[in-house]
Amino acid sequence: MIKAGIIGATGYAGAELVRILTGHKEVEIKWYGSKSYIDEKYERVYRNLFKIVDAACMDDNMEELAKQVDVIFTATPQGFLASVLTEEILSQVKIVDLSADYRIKDVKVYEKWYGITHQSPQFIEEAVYGLCEINRGKIGKETRLVANPGCYTTCSILTLYPLVKEGLIRTETMIVDAKSGTSGAGRGAKTANLFCEVNENIKAYGVASHRHTPEIEEQLGYAAGKEILLNFTPHLVPMNRGILVTAYADINKEILNGPSAEDVIRAAYDQYYAKEKFIRVLEKGVCPETRWVEGSNYVDVNFVFDERTGRVIAMGALDNLVKGAAGQAVQNMNLLFGIKESEGLEMPPLFP
Amino acid sequence: MIKAGIIGATGYAGAELVRILTGHKEVEIKWYGSKSYIDEKYERVYRNLFKIVDAACMDDNMEELAKQVDVIFTATPQGFLASVLTEEILSQVKIVDLSADYRIKDVKVYEKWYGITHQSPQFIEEAVYGLCEINRGKIGKETRLVANPGCYTTCSILTLYPLVKEGLIRTETMIVDAKSGTSGAGRGAKTANLFCEVNENIKAYGVASHRHTPEIEEQLGYAAGKEILLNFTPHLVPMNRGILVTAYADINKEILNGPSAEDVIRAAYDQYYAKEKFIRVLEKGVCPETRWVEGSNYVDVNFVFDERTGRVIAMGALDNLVKGAAGQAVQNMNLLFGIKESEGLEMPPLFP
Amino acid sequence: MIKAGIIGATGYAGAELVRILTGHKEVEIKWYGSKSYIDEKYERVYRNLFKIVDAACMDDNMEELAKQVDVIFTATPQGFLASVLTEEILSQVKIVDLSADYRIKDVKVYEKWYGITHQSPQFIEEAVYGLCEINRGKIGKETRLVANPGCYTTCSILTLYPLVKEGLIRTETMIVDAKSGTSGAGRGAKTANLFCEVNENIKAYGVASHRHTPEIEEQLGYAAGKEILLNFTPHLVPMNRGILVTAYADINKEILNGPSAEDVIRAAYDQYYAKEKFIRVLEKGVCPETRWVEGSNYVDVNFVFDERTGRVIAMGALDNLVKGAAGQAVQNMNLLFGIKESEGLEMPPLFP
Amino acid sequence: MIKAGIIGATGYAGAELVRILTGHKEVEIKWYGSKSYIDEKYERVYRNLFKIVDAACMDDNMEELAKQVDVIFTATPQGFLASVLTEEILSQVKIVDLSADYRIKDVKVYEKWYGITHQSPQFIEEAVYGLCEINRGKIGKETRLVANPGCYTTCSILTLYPLVKEGLIRTETMIVDAKSGTSGAGRGAKTANLFCEVNENIKAYGVASHRHTPEIEEQLGYAAGKEILLNFTPHLVPMNRGILVTAYADINKEILNGPSAEDVIRAAYDQYYAKEKFIRVLEKGVCPETRWVEGSNYVDVNFVFDERTGRVIAMGALDNLVKGAAGQAVQNMNLLFGIKESEGLEMPPLFP
């Protein structure tokens, strides 16, 4: 059995890790770290796990934890892991970091968008960006540190990747309009996230300034082989879970003038995703919807090619707490330990 | 592998059966029966199961189905199973009926509340009322027909059972005020169930006339050893899943005058439920909430004893599609075939 | 023009007062008191009122305010008004208090249920309980202090009043099962009221201990002419506005044995409510629903008489922020100043 | 008093017309037309109006109605008005048409996008497109036929109009990503609009094919002085009311190279909207949210200029049933009869 520790186990992403790992055959959770609930029984913080999890919350002592477990998941605020990570810890334990600390290779970009000084930039180079379907080959037994991608970024990148990688679109025209359920805002007590403030409402936020922007740009830049700038606009939707991305880009002229842009685009999606268990390219005419992936590790993607405007509208849907956070973290852990990649993640989506 | 067929596989309860059985190690679904979607691919009716279920919907030919499978689940409108069931079918296959056709022993009561003439009353006697935690001993390899309990009834009965069985309350004072999510209303296209009609609203319905009333009365009557009349009032809540029961009853005078009514009541709950995997008696002061059981087969129960009024307020929460329908149906199937009772049902609740 | 001041203008009830008074022809708001947002523009706290209200929030200096306005609405936490009220203030200004400070005549009952020492019990006797339809005659130009009823209590009392007043029920059997939208929980930043915690959930809370219990008991006690004890159980519903009360009571034997309990009960409701603008007794068979009163000052009531059990199930629905708080406060203000009672309150309910 | 008739009074837009006109001082509704509820009391179809509206539903006989009233509102399916309108009717009565029949000047465009043959194209030329803030000058006592704009179109056009009119953007880069509450889908009983299908979900629909596309293109084309093609993508949001538009466009080079694009853009919005009662240009940094306009005739607009990409993200929010349908229809009626434009429409937004 793999021994796992979770730092930040009482946030929504941490609790989803607990839910998923509880059903994982080869893992046992040894440490439920929590800043706010130390010594409190975990089942009292998340009563869905009453009589399922029998443990008290521990502190977030990474050094001690590193000695006791094989893998640590850090579902912590930005800057936490960077401030405590040491070579000694990394020499003892694998880490899957759900925060943004090691996602962005250029430390200046990180510091600019996050407004934090990075406390341990020496580990950035080593960290692997854990978007499993794309970077699977880089994650294995020798990997020590995985930067688990953000929820919006996972959805945005997977929605656009085949188009960018195959050079089908004018990348400078890319626009990502994203919509998220409210669990993405975390469990902190803020007036803006109260039921009556979120319910019966939709709004954009972080327009032209959301921190997931440079992460999307960097990863799609690797696919494009060039620097990318794009607009990313997140919206808050009155639902618990789910992210929907609606992305726009102009199709390249040579494709537009070719025989069938529609077919070329579909072929690109199939080329990259046909064999992927967790990425479902939908049938023509079917739009991704968050309800069809809720509670699961699936990402549904599809596109519409608009002949009138020469644009493609690419869409993707995932559960922000699963494929957008805890599910992908477990998928990464499976890769780290050479376990079947889908172990613990095979539950079908829950509907309604 | 047990071969299973589902009649009514495209209703919400049927789809939940599919979701659960997909993760059940010892079952394969051979027949997705549907009146409305014959020949349509199942994954197009429930797109959460896209690329997970690869089969087309079939008709509802019970005779043919009986030859091909080991167990049939009927998630069908009232009266359907009664109108097609024959001794020949029952001699070939086990049936777990999610409708009300065989739940009520007195056919006149059934006919009065449901307004239907029962087409095959000869099987009523044989049918076992499949409330697993209470009737487990009656469900086994020799059982042919299980009447799977209603959603409201499962919750109401399990909430009140220890009080009634142990004679702690004046049964003539029992009142059940129940609240249900909207999936209980089914997937039929009715104006009353449109999003804008249900959202931002709560209402009672079927007041003093809901069909689950006699079912609750009959089963609690067995526990009490006498006839029971009570009020049952269901309410429609703007959420997808979940039933909450708030039940009221006067505590018997001898208990009130005894040393500690609180302790006596808690002892009764523990006596019946302490060893039950799927019934969680909560800690004192914690009220059941539907969010803590969503997506799972758990029932959370608890009570408050009000010294001022001498009443007990007993509460229970379950997921109407799982323990209130498909989950309990699978639990019954496990009992029918001598499999571990919780097989396929061990997923923890999903929150948020 | 009546000059009005609001203390606690930035809570939900305070904001609803602002919304309603903005459309009231004979009132102008001179003071937007707020503990948390002093000097902030009101339109930035409630952006629905952007470009509609042009004023900054003020402090909660009652003495100063009393000199400037004709009426003060206090939409403040329990204990606030009691701690600042003086004879001098009351000699200068009328007060409509939306808190519980002067609702309960027996100060010991108040102190027990609220856990606060009452700071100015000398004004309790004078205060009029402002349930307009019942106490209208006591509220006029000479009245100085109105205790505006609670949201649950308004709904509970109006639902049961004719039954109690006419002696149709055994009052010792009364049970009030109430369901409320989440705006009733206020705008304070608490984890329990976050969107993801309330959405897709229903729960009871404050079982056998909610503070509105003694208020209901006292007022119904006046109607009954005797002391009343009852069970009141509130529930939290995932919607913004609305309270639904489902109340149960045994019909008195003499009524049961009479010619038609149904007719007798209906006659009682008509007797008290037929001429009331804001109380709508629904047609037989129609249950009150919160959606039909949202945004308005209406209360919809109706009942079902259950012959089987001899019980009546009485139901009532209102908007907790209007008839349950700000609307009734304005109705009381209208009575205080001899204005048409419905002035400013004639907007029809908003649906959907 | 103006006598008004409504055809389609029992749809959501029709019911909103009733709600608004009920509070309009100079109008009385004489005819509640309904295809589905003829002879049924209106207050039984919309129980929010119980004891407020005392009338039965009538048929949709336009000829008869034209003789009895001064203005007819047609809140009817596409094609209805075109199929019954005659010169005789128009000579007797003013018509405000909430359907799309007379919105699009090029009948071929209408027929292509709507898939209907237009039955009375002779009236298209005469019809005035009733976007009040832009076409106010064309709507007056001599006007006979107003084509009331669509909900998405009103929001999209008003959000982008200053940018297009002032030539600040490259119109060929315009993208409109819109999100709507579910009342926009109407009250018809469709499975796709059931509570459980809409709740906890977000999806795009009608991608590259929604019928409001040509309407937006035509009207913005007039502002631009040239033909416009754009992408419009609507999404369905789990809320009752509200439309949010997030629109993207590249800023023209000359503006980008000028002193301050931000200031130039803001000046354009102020130029057109500063004096408009119902259009609120929000403060810098504040994004429009549907909750702040719910139940009212306001449109909130704002923009973010993204220096990194040279794009503007323009946003607008309105209540689809008010400014997006019935409210604007009443605003048009006020213009038609020379009444104060905001009469009947001055209610502030309802929050929460």
C128 strand-pairing partners: C146
C175 touches chain B (CB under 8 A): yes
CA–CA dist A29, A47 (Å, integer): 17
Question: If you ran DSSP here, which 8-state letter would residue D230 be given?
Answer: -
| CB atoms A287 and D205 under 8 Å | yes
Residues of C in contact with D351 (CB under 8 A): 15, 19, 46, 48
The Cα of A349 is separated from the nearest Cα of chain B by a number of Å equal to: 5
Is the pLDDT at A60 greater than 90? The verdict is no
Pair type for strands B145-147 and C279-281 = unpaired
The Cα of C344 is separated from the nearest Cα of chain B by a number of Å equal to: 24
Residues of C in contact with A47 (CB under 8 A): none
Which 3 state secondary structure label does DSSP give C273? helix
Query: What is the ipTM for the molecules in this complex?
Result: 0.97
pLDDT confidence of residue A301:
98
Residues of D in contact with C291 (CB under 8 A): 48
Supply D105's token pair. Answer: 């000047």
| CB atoms A48 and B241 under 8 Å | no
| CB atoms A51 and B280 under 8 Å | yes
Is the pLDDT at B233 greater than 90? The verdict is yes
C75, C22 in Cβ contact below 8 A? Answer: no
Residue of C341, C319, C314, C320 lying closest to C330 (CA atoms): C341
Is the pLDDT at D195 greater than 90? The verdict is yes
CA–CA dist C153, C187 (Å, integer): 21
Mean pLDDT in residue range A66-78: 97
**CA-CA distances (angstroms) from residue C291 to B57, C237, C284?**
38, 13, 19
Which 3 state secondary structure label does DSSP give D194? strand
Residue among A201, A217, A237 with most chain D CBs within 10 A, to mutate: A201
Question: If you ran DSSP here, which 8-state letter would residue A136 be given?
Answer: G
CA–CA dist C192, A195 (Å, integer): 9
C12 touches chain A (CB under 8 A): yes
| CB atoms A240 and C187 under 8 Å | no
pLDDT confidence of residue B269:
98
| CB atoms C242 and B289 under 8 Å | no
Is the pLDDT at D285 greater than 90? The verdict is yes
Mean pLDDT of chain D: 97
pLDDT band at residue A232 under the 50/70/90 scheme? very high
Which chains lie within 8 Å of chain A at 3 or more CB pairs, if any?
B, C, D
Please, which contacts does B260-263 make with residues 24 or more away whose CB atoms are closer than 8 Å? B261/B305, B261/B307, B261/B312, B262/B305
**CA-CA distances (angstroms) from residue B13 to B6, B184, D304?**
10, 9, 47
pLDDT confidence of residue D259:
84
Residues of B in contact with D194 (CB under 8 A): 182, 187, 189-190, 193-195
Widest Cα–Cα separation across chain A: 65
D319 touches chain A (CB under 8 A): no
A173 touches chain D (CB under 8 A): yes
Render pLDDT for A315-328 as a digit per residue (tens, 0 to 9): 999 999 999 999 99
Query: Other CB atoms closer than 10 Å to residue A106's CB: what's the count?
Result: 11
| CB atoms C197 and B229 under 8 Å | no
In the sheet with A175-180, reading across from the earlier edge strand, the strands are A203-204, A231-236, A175-180, A243-250, A311-318, A299-306, A279-281
**CA-CA distances (angstroms) from residue B338 to A44, B2, B91, B222, D124?**
34, 11, 19, 26, 73
Query: Other CB atoms closer than 10 Å to residue B51's CB: what's the count?
Result: 15
Element (H, E) at D278: none
Render pLDDT for B69-92 as a digit per residue (tens, 0 to 9): 999 999 999 999 999 999 999 999
Render pLDDT for D311-341 as a digit per residue (tens, 0 to 9): 999 999 999 999 999 999 999 999 999 999 9
CA–CA dist D349, C53 (Å, integer): 12
A349 touches chain B (CB under 8 A): yes
Residues of D in contact with A202 (CB under 8 A): 179, 237, 239, 242, 244, 289-290
Render pLDDT for C274-320 as a digit per residue (tens, 0 to 9): 999 999 999 999 999 999 999 999 999 999 999 999 999 999 999 99
Q: Name the residue in chain D with its Cα closest to that of C276.
A: D51
Residue D155 annotated as catalytic:
no
Render pLDDT for B266-290 as a digit per residue (tens, 0 to 9): 999 999 999 999 999 999 999 999 9
Among A199, A290, A308, the residue with its CB nearest the CB of D201 is A290
| CB atoms D199 and B182 under 8 Å | yes
Is the pLDDT at A289 greater than 90? The verdict is yes
A287 touches chain B (CB under 8 A): no
D239, A238 in Cβ contact below 8 A? Answer: yes
Render pLDDT for D111-169 as a digit per residue (tens, 0 to 9): 999 999 999 999 999 999 999 999 999 999 999 999 999 999 999 999 999 999 999 99
A293 touches chain B (CB under 8 A): yes
pLDDT above 70 coverage of chain C, percent: 100
CA–CA dist D300, C281 (Å, integer): 39
**Phi, then psi, of C264 in degrees rounded to 5:** -60, -45
The Cα of D244 is separated from the nearest Cα of chain A by a number of Å equal to: 7
CA–CA dist C297, C347 (Å, integer): 8
In a 10 Å sphere around its CB, with 0-12 CB exposed, 13-18 middle and 19+ buried, how is residue D343 labelled? middle
Amino acid at the residue B266: R
Mean pLDDT of chain A: 97
Q: Which residues of A are catalytic?
A: 151
Q: How many CB pairs under 8 A join A and D?
A: 149
Q: Residue with structure tokens 């914690």?
A: B286
Q: Name the residue in chain B with its Cα closest to that of A292.
A: B48
| CB atoms A282 and B15 under 8 Å | no
Is the pLDDT at C258 greater than 90? The verdict is no
Question: If you ran DSSP here, which 8-state letter would residue D341 be given?
Answer: T
| CB atoms D352 and A200 under 8 Å | yes
Is the pLDDT at C60 greater than 90? The verdict is no
Supply D181's token pair. Answer: 């509450």
CA–CA dist C163, D243 (Å, integer): 45
Supply B135's token pair. Answer: 């009737």
In a 10 Å sphere around its CB, with 0-12 CB exposed, 13-18 middle and 19+ buried, how is residue A302 labelled? buried
Render pLDDT for B94-143 as a digit per residue (tens, 0 to 9): 999 999 999 999 999 999 999 999 999 999 999 999 999 999 999 999 99
Please, which contacts does D336-340 make with residues 24 or more away whose CB atoms are closer than 8 Å? D336/D71, D336/D94, D336/D96, D336/D139, D336/D140, D336/D141, D336/D143, D336/D146, D337/D2, D337/D26, D337/D70, D337/D71, D337/D94, D337/D141, D338/D140, D338/D141, D339/D2, D339/D26
Which of B57, B151, B155, B287 is flagged as catalytic? B151
Mean pLDDT in residue range D63-80: 97
Supply C170's token pair. Answer: 């055994």
Mean pLDDT of chain B: 97
| CB atoms D248 and A248 under 8 Å | yes
Which of D132, D151, D196, D287 is flagged as catalytic? D151
Supply C298's token pair. Answer: 């209406």
Residue among A194, A237, A320 with most chain C CBs within 10 A, to mutate: A194
pLDDT band at residue A88 under the 50/70/90 scheme? very high
D15 touches chain C (CB under 8 A): yes
Q: Name the residue in chain A with its Cα closest to that of C200.
A: A240
Q: How many CB pairs under 8 A join A and C?
A: 59
**Phi, then psi, of A130 in degrees rounded to 5:** -85, 50
Is the pLDDT at B51 greater than 90? The verdict is yes
pLDDT band at residue B60 under the 50/70/90 scheme? confident
DSSP calls for C129-173? E--HHHHGGG-STT--EEEPPPHHHHHHHHHHHHHHHTT-B-GGG
| CB atoms C291 and B197 under 8 Å | yes
pLDDT band at residue A258 under the 50/70/90 scheme? confident
Peptide bond into B352 cis (omega under 30): yes
D179 touches chain A (CB under 8 A): yes
In a 10 Å sphere around its CB, with 0-12 CB exposed, 13-18 middle and 19+ buried, how is residue B225 labelled? exposed
Supply A72's token pair. Answer: 């640590």
Mean pLDDT in residue range B285-300: 98
pLDDT confidence of residue D141:
96
Query: Other CB atoms closer than 10 Å to residue B141's CB: what's the count?
Result: 9
Residue among C193, C203, C216 with most chain B CBs within 10 A, to mutate: C203
Q: How far, in whole angstroms, is CA A74 from its chain's centroid?
A: 13
Burial D280-305 (b: 16+ CB within 10 A, else e): bbbeeebbbbbbbbbbbbbbbbbbbb
Among C12, C189, C200, the residue with its CB nearest the CB of A190 is C189
Q: How many CB pairs under 8 A join A and B?
A: 75
The Cα of A351 is separated from the nearest Cα of chain B by a number of Å equal to: 7
Is the pLDDT at A259 greater than 90? The verdict is no
A350 touches chain B (CB under 8 A): yes
pLDDT band at residue C232 under the 50/70/90 scheme? very high
CA–CA dist C320, B145 (Å, integer): 49
Render pLDDT for C181-215 as a digit per residue (tens, 0 to 9): 999 999 999 999 999 999 999 999 999 999 999 99
C211 touches chain B (CB under 8 A): no
Among D207, D235, D313, the residue with its CB nearest the CB of A208 is D313
B237 touches chain C (CB under 8 A): yes
Which 3 state secondary structure label does DSSP give A168? coil
Q: Name the residue in chain C with its Cα closest to that of D349.
A: C48
